[in-house]
Chains A and B, each alone.
Chain A
Amino acid sequence: MKPMIKSLMIVLVTAVVIHLAVIFSAPNLLMAVAFRRLSAEGKMVNQMIHPPRTTQASRAIVRPSPDLAYSSCAYDLSRGPVRVKASRATDYMSVSVYAANSDNIFAINDRQAPDGVDLVIVGKGQAPPSGTALVVQSPTQRGIVLERRLAPSAEAFAEAELARKQDVCAPL
């Protein structure tokens, strides 16, 4: 009976350790996958990308809304702060910043920024550049900026497409 209990304990302890390891690392792992996908395997970092309208073939990020125009920027602060600009919108628009652990560290919408969004993401220990009004402190060096513009129809999407052409995500 005793070796049996010992065996069970070994199985149980390992199972708990692995289970918790997966649960705790899931946000970071899944963000790393998203980062890779949204940066074309690391080739398009610190630049805004504008994928076409969401369809049944959209597989980059889970649960995409077919009624929104998404733009994204995989940012890397290892060479300094990154500036993000989103032009003004006539309908709902928001810019949100996610750290590498999947935390939504910042979000702003068109009502809060009627003239468009202009912000600077700085890493730990990086001094925010003088003169910038909106500074987002990122706890991790890498992360993702996601922009949403309301676009429930082809016409609305075309309008959003035009507006987002001026959007920026670039090292300062």
Chain B
Amino acid sequence: MDATAPCPLLNGRWVAYRWFTYKALERRRYDSLARHVAEEGQSVRAALKMGGLVLIGAGLGLVSALAMLNQGMNIGKETVQGWVGSHVSGDRTADPYTRALVARAGLLALTQAETLYFNRTTNEAGKPLRADCTYQLEGGPQPARWWSVTIYAADNYLPVNGDDAQSADATRMAALTKPQDLGRWKVRVSPQKGDATHWISSKNAGDYALTIRLYNPQDGARNDFRSIALPTIKTVSCPSVPA
């Protein structure tokens, strides 16, 4: 086009035409950009939502698994006179839950052929054992070569109280009992010793558990937990207001 041609109208039309096409193009560009941004935003939101859901799921999975593991040994087991025993601890054929539980609360435990373990967390009425209460544990000879009763705090370790009174065992009980007792023995489980002959300290023990170990159990005991006369527990006193 000749820029010097005296044709202002045509020139003006051309300018208007260019202006409109430019605007249209710009609008189109803007629209596509906006669409793009919107799509991007949507996918970011979707990804965030997905991540959030996965995170919630992972959290639930983790918390539920840890809750299972921290239940202690009281799951899927046989309860005998308030004591919970397992026929499968340390057994290779145990189900994944039992295996995980044993690993958590009884790692490096022995198999039944060697030792039976029974655990109790409740008193004679099925109420949780309380660290501030006084209980009497009473029993007789156990169908095993050697046995012991030990107190464990909720973290599966011995309670930290400086009392050095965490267990009773066959040898000490034999030394304490007289011939006329016929092997019957008594142990006090309480925060203070008082006048007890033998004492297991529950001071600072929190929600504790008592575990009896029967080393080299007799075949009958191993095959039928119900045949074992496990120690009994009796609540002697409890402070009316829990400490």
Residues of chain A at the chain B interface (Cβ within 8 Å) = 7, 10-24, 26-27, 30-31, 34, 54-59, 61-67, 91-92, 94, 96, 98, 102-105, 107, 109, 111, 144, 146, 150, 152-153, 156
Contacts and interface: CB of A to CB of B under 8 A. Distances in A.
Given A66-B167, A107-B111, A59 B103 contact: no
B79 to A, nearest CB: 19
A67 B169 CA distance: 8
| Residue among A12, A91, A102 with the highest chain B CB neighbour number at 10 A | A102
B61 A15 contact: yes
B158 interface: yes
Contacts of A96: 108, 110, 114
A144 B108 contact: yes
Contacts of A103: 90, 92
The 6 closest A-B pairs by CB, nearest first: A14-B57, A18-B61, A22-B65, A19-B61, A26-B100, A15-B60
B10 to A, nearest CB: 59
B158 A54 contact: yes
Given A22-B61, A111-B216, A152 B171 contact: yes
Contacts of B62: 18-19, 22
Nearest to A102: B103
Contact of A146 (B60, B66, B108, B216): B108
Nearest to A111: B216
B64 to A, nearest CB: 5
A98 B169 contact: no
Nearest to A23: B100
Given A18-B58, A65-B150, A66-B158, A23 B171 contact: no
A31 B50 contact: no
Contacts of B148: 65, 67, 152
A56 B166 contact: yes
Given A23-B97, A102-B99, A152-B148, A63 B56 contact: no
A14 B107 contact: no
Interface string B142-161: 00011010101000111111
Given A15-B60, A15-B61, A66-B167, A34 B108 contact: yes
A56 B61 contact: no
B69 A26 contact: yes
A30 B99 CA distance: 11
Contact of A152 (B68, B69, B99, B172): B172
Contacts of A146: 108
Contact of B114 (A12, A107, A144): A107
Contacts of A15: 57-58, 60-61, 64
